[in-house]
Structure 1
Amino acid sequence: MPYLLIDDLHIEVVRKNIRSLRLTVYAPDGRVRVAAPLRTADAAIQAFVTTRRAWIRKHQEQFAAREQPAALEYVTGEVHPYQGRAYQLRVAAGGPAAGRVQLREEGFLDLWIAEASTREQREKALNTWYRARLKEQLPALAARWEPVVGAQANVWAVKQMRTRWGTCSIRAKRIWLNLELIKQPVHCLEYVVVHELVHLHERLHNQRFWGLMDQFMPDWRTAKQALRSVHLKPCG
């Protein structure tokens, strides 16, 4: 990936078939990326970044001030979220039920796994359960929100994403939701669903896009603010 060093900022540069320069600062580490039209000169990118230096620093400082989440080992006693509620994980030797996960009303998340399982195996088992729960909710989410937004996706899918809560392929009408959304409150999940559906009307995050968000989901700002405080899980 090409980089530019502008003063003390390392800028990741991605050239693509777009009309204007776009700047993004990513959590949690404050990584900066500029998406630029294919023939944009480095000097133009440098000038663009320089004029937005204060904005970049502001966001990097906000990310740096966030409390870093503790590394998870997927062992008994850890707290793991599901749809905005915290559950205490209980790991038990699996036997014939190895890999099974069960949510308990009293606030426990039970995982049956082989006694000699590795951290990676326990994480995979729990993520498989998370993925299944999110996928089984997609039909109801689509049935609720597609008529409200007046747009319909051809495909809904789930994947782990490092920097986005959702993404939309407008031409194929394919929407992906981040697996981590199943851990957030339902309203946050619905916000991302509506956000991606609105992209089927408007590709850019412009005045028209946010006006449509106001029309279809007037309280979307609350969910967006809640998601801003969450550290997305690295992939791979």
Structure 2
Amino acid sequence: MPNNHRNASRGVRNRNRTLSEETVQIAGMTVTIMRKPIKNMYLRIKPPNAQIVISTPSRMSQAAIARFVTERKSWIEQAQRAMLQARDQQIHEGNNPNDPHSFTWNDATRKRAVQTINAQLPVLLAKWSPIIGREPTHVTLRVMTSRWGSCTPKTGRIRLNLQLGLMDPRFLEYVLVHEMTHLWENGHGEGFQRRMSAYLPQWRQLRRELNRHVVL
């Protein structure tokens, strides 16, 4: 069993490994192509700036990639508009933690965020540790500029973005469950997705809603 687990983890890491990355123009759109040791192509619109990212098998031809993107152009443009509108709405609301033009971290906002998370964390850990079957050795709160959380499975350490303490509580719960799942699964492959669907059936919807927010 231990050998099988290591082999499965290694397989997930290999699938998530980027072999090459390039930015090209396709059908009038700027597209980032990431070649990986995978079997199928995947398209995502990456927040906060609605970047088009294609994950593709390492030997997929440029013509096939261009056709894949062109066939989805109308959907891509619609998804980009929706993401940018949501981002701009947040920016112009003012006085909220996702406004990069007006929001600044200070002692008051840090204290409020820390108090909010610390008040929720024991309850969330007590709820999810038995369900997931693992619990972190340490949970650290910090200001992050590019992600909502991170996990080091080897040490059991989880880091949470302090910004979550200023947002809807369900996002803190989602990120915590996400990172605790990494205590079992290193990457975001089938094993990770299967566990997340068992723990939080609505996790994909929560991820979409969370990613409409700007990480400060």
Matches within 5 A, 1:53-68: 53-66=73-86, 67-68=88-89
Note closer, same or farther for the CA distance 1:126–1:190 as it changes in structure 2 (3 Å cut): same
CA distance in 2, matches of 1:170, 1:56: 35
The equivalent position to 1:125 in structure 2, one of 104, 107, 116, is 107
Which has more radius of gyration?
A: 1
Which amino acid in the other structure matches residue 44 of structure 2? T
1:46 maps to 66
1:204 maps to 188
The equivalent position to 1:189 in structure 2, one of 172, 186, 196, is 172
CA distance in 2, matches of 1:198, 1:11: 31
CA distance in 1, matches of 2:82, 2:96: 25
Residues 130 and 179, structure 1, Cα contact 8 Å, conserved in 2:
no
Residues 188 and 227, structure 1, Cα contact 8 Å, conserved in 2:
yes
The equivalent position to 1:26 in structure 2, one of 26, 32, 46, is 46
Q: Answer yes or no: is 1:160 the counterpart of 2:179.
A: no
Which amino acid in the other structure matches residue 145 of structure 1? W
User: How many residue pairs were aligned?
Assistant: 187
Residues 69 and 231, structure 1, Cα contact 8 Å, conserved in 2:
yes
Residues 180 and 232, structure 1, Cα contact 8 Å, conserved in 2:
no
TM-score normalised according to structure 2 size: 0.62
Secondary structure of the residue aligned to 2:90 is coil
Instruction: Provide structure 2 residue ranges, at least 5 long, that are not aligned to the other structure.
Output: 1-20
Matches within 5 A, 1:1-236: 2-15=22-35, 18-20=37-39, 21-36=41-56, 42-66=62-86, 67-70=88-91, 79-80=95-96, 123-130=105-112, 132-133=114-115, 136=118, 140=122, 141-157=124-140, 158-162=142-146, 164-170=147-153, 173-202=156-185, 203-204=187-188, 206=190, 209-218=192-201, 220=203, 223-224=206-207, 226-227=209-210, 230-234=212-216
Which amino acid in the other structure matches residue 180 of structure 1? Q
Q: CA deviation at 1:129?
A: 2.7
Secondary structure of the residue aligned to 1:232 is coil
Instruction: Provide structure 1 residue ranges, at least 5 long, that are not aligned to the other structure.
Output: 73-77, 82-118
User: Which structure is higher in helix share?
Assistant: 2
CA distance in 2, matches of 1:199, 1:47: 35
Deviation string 1:147-191 (CA, Å, 9 cap, x unpaired) is 2211233443334244x4334445554433233211122222112
TM-score normalised according to structure 1 size: 0.58
Residues 110 and 162, structure 2, Cα contact 8 Å, conserved in 1:
no
Q: CA deviation at 1:58?
A: 2.9
Higher mean C-alpha deviation, range 39-48 or range 57-66: 39-48
